[in-house]
Structure 1
Amino acid sequence: MELRHLRYFVAVAEEQHMTRAALRLGIQQPPLSQQIRDLEGELGVRLFDRAPRSIKLNAAGQVFLKDARRLLADAQDAIARVRQAARGESGRIAVGYTSSASLHPLVPRLLRAFHAEHPGVDLEFQENATRDLLEAVARDVLDAALVRSSSDRYPGLRAIVLADEPMVVALPVGHPLAKRRKTVSMADLADQPWIFYRRADGPGIQDELMPACRKAGFTPHIVADVPRLLSAVTLVSAGRGITVVPQTLEAIHQESVVYRRLDAASAFTIPLTLVFRHPASALIQRFVAMARAPG
């Protein structure tokens, strides 16, 4: 049974006249009559009571008419849904982000705006470390990720930089560097106990931080190594050491952590990056386009 058989049947049932139904469908009357007979033959049931100049639904035809209309409506809905998906207007997006990326105001703004403009798209979220997120995008487990690094180690991925964010020094309350100056140089941090945050062999902020330390002429004395930025700031608040973090983390532990800008000679930025597979689906292309849009 084909959809056209259902359309022919519904037209004949509603017109109760073979010639009028043929005109409505834009086909000749004899082929239409043959198609209706073929349908009845396939079903093994007569759907119409026929007279020389009339055709009328019988009891079986009336039952079948309800199902035929429903099936045709379902088919139209399916066509509409698949066309929406092809245009990137519906479907599902799984987006990952690091804890520090989620704190940047651009991230919730982007997710909120995309949901408002594409209410038919299901947004799913996952927080993880940078390497895990990039590998998940590369393996097609996630559609995109918001991280603080490039995607250079993954040739199948593309990346756009949404923002370059200044780095600041996080110091325990009462620390001498916090008391005596408003800015700090990287050289001032040479003898300090450092809290590092990284995953072995994983890309991230350390790709920028370690060169900044070397440029200032020292290798940091690391007293703790944690997998998350938030964990690093928590250890700073406990007085375990100092660290350097993106500026958006200044909202964390303000009662026990003091944040100081790096001076002009030491200042550097870290990117907020949207990473996705290439080539991208229509839905991801819409997400990327919205991320690129100013404001």
Structure 2
Amino acid sequence: MELHEATTADQLISLQADRIDIGFIVLPINPEATVEVTPIHLDRWVAAVPDSHPLANQDTITLFDLHDEPWILFPGRYGPGIYERIIAACEEANFVPRVTQRVRLMQTALGLVAGGVGVAIVPHLLTSMRPIGVRFIELSGPGTPIPYDIALVSTNITNPLRDSLIEIAKSAFFKNANAVIYGGS
């Protein structure tokens, strides 16, 4: 078995080209994708602000509270479905985010937040990383919660390795007290 890092979009392309057997993706994806989708974890997005930010002392903020801030966000081509979900949530909160920095990885976004470059929204799952200089804040109000769904994707061919990996992934997420597991367990 080999592991490769890839975006949701790249994994779907690789699956359809038969270059990989299985992938971890973020939903939603294009409903026309010819892959088997097994949802395994439902999470939510939270705000990430520099610990010196005026909002850093709040336990909960609205998405609109971030409307004047410089945003750090990934380009839509890396995860078109979730990108559209984030933009729609902002529009529901009556603003369009002012994206000043685009990043590929959430960890990079957190580093830039710690450096004071801007704010980001990240999956709650990442709060356990506890990066120095970053404060995570729950989001409420219009546009929230913004779902963050993780799934395994594979071809429709029966594969015992895939089935085992699905069970291991469900078990791993089940141990996380903040996780919601799909498909039983």
TM bucket normalised to smaller: 0.7 to 0.9
Aligned length: 172
Residue 150 in 1 paired to residue 34 in 2? no
Q: Which residue of 127, 134, 138 corresponds with 1:257?
A: 134
Unaligned runs of 5+ in 2: 171-182
Give percent identity, aligned residues only: 26
Query: 2:14, 2:4 → 1: CA distance?
Result: 10
Query: 1:217, 1:294 → 2: CA distance?
Result: 37
Shift of 1:186: 0.7
Residue 228 in 1 paired to residue 102 in 2? no
- Residue number in structure 1 paired with 2:49: 171
Query: 1:127, 1:204 → 2: CA distance?
Result: 19
* TM-score calculated relative to the size of structure 1: 0.53
* TM-score calculated relative to the size of structure 2: 0.82
Q: Which residue of 88, 111, 133 corresponds with 2:11?
A: 133
Shift of 1:203: 2.6
Query: 2:50, 2:15 → 1: CA distance?
Result: 37
Shift of 1:216: 0.3
- Residue number in structure 1 paired with 2:179: none
Query: 1:154, 1:286 → 2: CA distance?
Result: 26
Q: Which residue of 226, 233, 247 corresponds with 2:124?
A: 247
Shift of 1:124: 2.2
- Residue number in structure 2 paired with 1:50: none
Residue 193 in 1 paired to residue 67 in 2? no
Shift of 1:289: 5.5
Shift of 1:234: 1.0
- Specify the code of the residue in structure 2 equivalent to 1:146: F
Rate the CA distance shift 1:174–1:294 in 2: closer, same or farther, 3 A.
same
Query: 2:78, 2:120 → 1: CA distance?
Result: 20
- Specify the code of the residue in structure 2 equivalent to 1:205: I
Q: Deviations over 1:245-264 (max 9, x none)?
A: 00111133532000001125
- 1:195–1:232 contact (8 Å) kept in structure 2: yes
- 1:166–1:267 contact (8 Å) kept in structure 2: yes
Q: Deviations over 1:107-152 (max 9, x none)?
A: xxxxxxxxxxxxxxxx321112221111111111111111112342
- Residue number in structure 2 paired with 1:52: none
Rate the CA distance shift 1:184–1:247 in 2: closer, same or farther, 3 A.
same
- Residue number in structure 2 paired with 1:65: none
Query: 1:256, 1:290 → 2: CA distance?
Result: 33
- RMSD of aligned residue pairs (Cα, Å): 2.2
- Specify the code of the residue in structure 1 equivalent to 2:11: L
Unaligned runs of 5+ in 1: 1-122
Higher helix share: 1
- Residue number in structure 2 paired with 1:88: none
Rate the CA distance shift 1:199–1:264 in 2: closer, same or farther, 3 A.
closer
- 2:7–2:78 contact (8 Å) kept in structure 1: no
- 2:139–2:145 contact (8 Å) kept in structure 1: yes
- 1:138–1:154 contact (8 Å) kept in structure 2: no
Shift of 1:201: 6.8
Q: Which residue of 63, 80, 88 corresponds with 1:211?
A: 88
- 1:237–1:253 contact (8 Å) kept in structure 2: no
Query: 1:286, 1:255 → 2: CA distance?
Result: 36
| 2:72 alignment partner, SS class | strand
Higher relative contact order (CA 8 A, sep 6+): 2
Query: 1:284, 1:259 → 2: CA distance?
Result: 34
- 1:167–1:262 contact (8 Å) kept in structure 2: yes
After superposition, where does 1:277-288 map in structure 2 within 5 Å? 277-288=155-166
